[in-house]
Structure 1
C-alpha cells in the first residue's frame, strides 16, 4: 500500500495568537523519518496536525493510507481494561455472546471480519513483551512503560500504512526499548517519529528539524545531522566574534569622529570670538562645518547600526546556551539525619519487597524493569498508595514530581502556580528564582497550558523546589521524558543546586550518570 505524508505551506497558531509553524512543507513516503527540535518548537503540534487532531491555520494536508498516532501520554484514567485500550472490547463481548449461543444479527455485525481478533491481539501483545497481561486487566495496575507499549499495540492492531510516534521511548526500560526498536526497524510503511532518544534516531533514514516555526530536512542518519549542526554552530560562533569585533571598531571610529568634530567646533568658536575673518565668511564656514559634521556623524552612526544588525543576525543563528543556577539553602539536610526508612515494606499491586533507607543529602537512583513497582514505591512514600504490607517512615518535608507532571494548574500562569505552592514567599524572590529557571520577564506570565514539555518541566520544578516548607527530599519519576538534550542538561543544572536528598526513577543511563548518584537501588533484585 502506498503510504505518504504531505503538507504544503502549512501554518498554525494558537487562539491567543502564539505562532507555532510558519509555511512548513513536508513530503515523505515509505521509510523511517526522525523529527527533532527543541522543546516548544512544535513537534507534537505537527504530529497532531498530520493525525488530523488539529486543523492548520493555512496550508493543505494529505495522508495516503490509514494513519495511526501515538501521543506522548497516551492513556489517562484507570477505569479501562486492556481490551478497551486495544479497541476490541465490544468485539470480544460479541464473540463471547455468539459462542454462548446468541444469534442476534447485531452481534455478527459487531464482529465483522475480526473472528481472529483475540489471537491477533495476543500475538501483538507477546511481540511487545506483554504476553502476561490479560485482556480483562485494568490499566490502572500497569506501569507507565507497559501503558506506552499497550497503546502502541492498539495502533499496530489497526495495521496502519502511516505511523506517527511522539516520544515513544518515554518510560520504557532497556528491554522494552529493544522491542520498540524492533517495531521501528521492521516497519514497511511510512513512519514519522518525534524523539530525543539518540539510539532510536540513529535508526532513522533521515532527520527533520523544527526550529523557529520552520522544518528543515537533513539527509542521512542522526549522526550526520549532528555533524552538520556542529559545523554550522562553529561558523555561527565565528560570525558572532567577527560581528562583535566589527561593532567595537565602528564604535571606536564613531567616538574618534565625535572627538574630531568637537575639536573643530572649539576651533571655529575661537576664530569667531577673535573675529579674524569677515562675519559673512565665518558664518558660511560655520554652516559648512555643521553640514559636514552632520554628514560625518550620520555615516558613522549608520555604520554602528549596521554592525549591530549584523551582530543580532549572527546571534540569532546560535542555539540557546543559557544555564540554570538556583539558590536553595533551605533544602539542605545534615549528613547524619535520617530522611526515609522502610520497615518490612511490600508494595501494592506487585508485592515487591523493598528495603530502603536514605540518610542526609544522599542521591539514589531507582532502577528496574517496567512493572517492578518503581512508580508505586514513590507514590507509597508520599502516602498516595497504601503498601501491601509494612511501613514507610518519611521524616522530612518531601515533594514528588510525577511522570505526568500534573502538578501545574493549566489555568494559572507560571508565577501564580509557584505562588500557590508558596503563598507566603516574597514575590520578588519568586520572580528572581524563576528568572534563574529561565522564566524571565513576560515568560513568567505564560499560562501553564501554553508551555512546551521542557518549559512545563522547569515550571513544575519551580513549584516543587520553591514550595513551602522547602523540600528536603525530592522524588522524581522519569523526569527526562519529553526533554530534548538541552532540557536534560538544564534539569541536571537545576538539580546540582539542590542540597536535599534525591530519589530518582529513570531509564536514562546518561542522565543518572550526570546526577553523580551515591548509589543505585535495583528493584529487580528484590523480585529475583
Structure 2
C-alpha cells in the first residue's frame, strides 16, 4: 500500500476520436484527504475520473496515481447480484472453494486478507439500513431502488480499502439519513478521496476543491462556502478589470482618432503654404518626408496601443464572463386555485392535491417513491416486487390535467437517434429548427443536437429530458419530478429553481436536496414509510 496516496494531473488533455476537446491542459493535484471536484456540466469531471482510474488514456500530458484505485460511477450497473455490486463476488467464491477443501493458491490470493468479507459486508449494509444477511448478498441487483444500489456501491468502496477512491455524484438517489451516513463516513475515510458533487452539504466537509472552470482550472484549499466567497471576489475583480480595460480601449481609440485629426490639420496647413508659395520646392520635399515619417511612427504607436488595449479587453472579458446556464421560459402552465389535480389513497390515508400546490414526497430509499410516481403516471412495472410494493394504493388523476414527468432514470432517451428527435417526440408540431433552437437554450448546441442521447453526458441527458417535459404538447399543469437535480451543476440547479419558482401549475417533487426544497418553498410533505404495507403521513412544511 502506498504511504502517501495522491493523484497528480500534469497538463492532461483528452480529445474524442472526432477531435472534440473534452479536457485541455489540466493541471491539478489531489492529496490524501477529501477533495471535491466541481465544474459545469460538460466540463469533463467524469472524464477526469476515468483518466485517473486508468479507463482512458490522456491525448497529451500525464496522469500519475500513487496506489490502487476504486471507482463508484454515476451510473451503476444493475447486472448481477448485490455481491457483484459490492465487488466481493470473487472473494466469496474463493472462500467457498477453500471451505470445500481447495488448496489452489489462486483462491487464497483472491481472498487475500478478506477472510471476514461477508461479515464486514453485512455489517456495513446494516449500518446503511438495508437489513442485510447472507441471502441478501445473492439478491438480484436489478430489484434494488436507485438509492439502495448507491448505498451498496458506497459500502463496496469502503470494503475495497483502496489508496485512491473516486466517487461520481455519490449522494444522487440517497435519502436524507444515508446522506448523513456518507458525510460522516467521508470524514474518516482512509487515503485520497476525490468526490464529484454538487451537494452543498457534502462540499462543506471537503479539505480542498478543484474547479474545472472553462476559463481555467482553479485549485482551492477550503470548503465550498469559502470557495464561493473567493469566487465572488474573483468575479468582482474580473469585472472591475473589464471596466478598466473598456476605459483603456476607449482612451486608445480617442487618442488614435485625435492624432488622425491633428495629422489631417497639418496636411491641410502644408498644402495651403505650398499653394501660397511660402515654401521652396526642396523644403517642401524635406518637410513632407519628415511629416510622413512622424505620421508613420505615430500611426504605428497608436496601432500598437489599440491592439494591446483590445487584447487586454478580450482577456478581461473572458475572465469576467460567467459560465453559460440553461435558459427556460415556461409556457402557460397556470392551474386554478381549488381545481382537483390528484387524489391518492394509501391504506387508510387519503391524500388530495388541488390547485397550484407544491408537495414534496419523501421517505427512506426503498419505500417506493419512484415506483409510486411511475404507477401514478401509468408506467407501472411488471416485476412482482413492484406489484407487491403498491398493494393497497389507489390513484385518481383527472384526465383534464396534463402531466409532465421527469423520471430519475433516463434510459427511455436511448431509443431516439438524436436529441432533436427526442424533443419532437414530445411536441410533434415543432419543426427541426424549433427543436434545435429549444435545445440551444438548454446548452445542447450545434452538432450535439444531432447526437444520440446515449452518447451524451449525464448533465446533457437531464437537460434533454427536462426540455421534453417542460415543452411538451400540451404543456404540463401537474409537474412530477423525481430527484431533478441529480445530474445538474450548481449554476443549472439555481436556474432550475428560478424557473420552477415561476411555474404556476401543481408540483409534486421527490428530492433529498434540502437546498432545492428550501428554495422552492414547498408547502406540504407526503412522507412514505414501510411496515407490513406502504404507509404515508401528510405534514405541513418541507
| TM-score, with structure 2 as normaliser | 0.81
Aligned counterpart, 2:463: 458
Partner of 2:167: 165
CA distance in 2, matches of 1:407, 1:209: 31
Closer, same or farther: CA 95–280 of 1 in aligned 2, 3 Å = closer
1:124 is aligned to 124
- In 2, Cα distance between equivalents of 1:332 and 1:271: 79
SS of residue in 2 equivalent to 1:331? coil
Indicate yes or no: 2:437 matched with 1:425: no
| Structure 2 unaligned spans of 5+ | 382-389, 538-542
Aligned to 1:490: 495
User: Are 1:383 and 2:386 counterparts?
Assistant: no
The match for 1:481 is 486
Shift of 1:162: 2.2
Counterparts of 1:76 and 1:269 in 2: how far apart (Å)?
88
Find the counterpart in structure 1 of residue 6 from structure 2.
5
Find out whether 1:471 has 2:476 as its counterpart: yes
Q: Label 1:436 to 1:419 Cα distance change in 2 as closer, same or farther (>3 A).
A: same
Alpha-carbon offset, residue 69 of structure 1 = 0.8
Matching residue of 2:39: 37
- Name the SS for the 2:212 alignment partner: strand
User: Match of 1:350?
Assistant: none
Q: What is the distance in 2 between the residues matched to 1:251 and 1:493?
A: 41
Using the TM superposition, give the Cα deviation of residue 236 of structure 1 relative to its aligned residue in structure 2, in angstroms. Answer: 0.9
**Pairwise CA distance, 1:176:** 0.5
Unaligned ranges ≥5, structure 1? 347-352
CA contact (8 A) 2:333 2:503 kept: yes
Q: Where in structure 2 are the equivalents of 1:216-365 lying within 5 Å? A: 216-257=218-259, 299-318=301-320, 320=322, 324-342=326-344, 344-345=345-346, 355-365=350-360
Give the C-alpha shift of residue 23 in structure 1. 3.5
* Per-residue deviation, residues 234-255 of structure 1 (Å, max 9, x unmatched): 2111101111222233334444
In structure 1, distance between residues paired with 2:19 and 2:13: 12
In the TM superposition, what whole-angstrom CA distance separates every residue of 1:43-73 from its partner, at most 9, and x where no partner exists?
Answer: 2111111112112223444433322111112
* CA displacement, residues 203-238 of structure 1 (integer Å, 9 cap, x when unaligned): 222222323396443234444433432322221111
In the TM superposition, what is the alpha-carbon distance from 1:138 to its structure 2 partner? 3.1
Q: Is the 8 A contact 1:364 1:519 kept in 2?
A: yes
Moved more, 449-458 or 176-185: 449-458
Q: CA deviation at 1:193?
A: 1.8
- Within the candidate set 351, 361, 380, 1:366 is matched to 361
The change in CA–CA distance for 1:162 and 1:354 in structure 2 (over 3 A counts) is farther
SS of the residue corresponding to residue 329 of structure 1 reads: coil
User: Judging changes above 3 Å, is the alpha-carbon distance between structure 1 residues 115 and 305 closer, same or farther for their aligned structure 2 residues?
Assistant: closer
Corresponding residue for residue 397 of structure 1: 402
Separation (CA, whole Å) in 2 of partners of 1:404 and 1:278: 90
Q: What residue number does 1:82 align with?
A: 82
Range that drifts further, 480-489 or 277-286: 277-286
Taking structure 1 as reference, are residues 69 and 463 closer, same or farther at Cα in structure 2, changes over 3 Å only?
same
Give runs of aligned pairs for residues 68-147 of structure 1, distance below 5 A: 68-76=70-78, 80-89=80-89, 92=92, 109=107, 112=111, 115-132=115-132, 134-147=136-149
Secondary structure at the counterpart of residue 69 of structure 1? strand
Mapped partners of 1:238, 1:392: distance in 2: 57
Give the count of matched residue pairs: 517
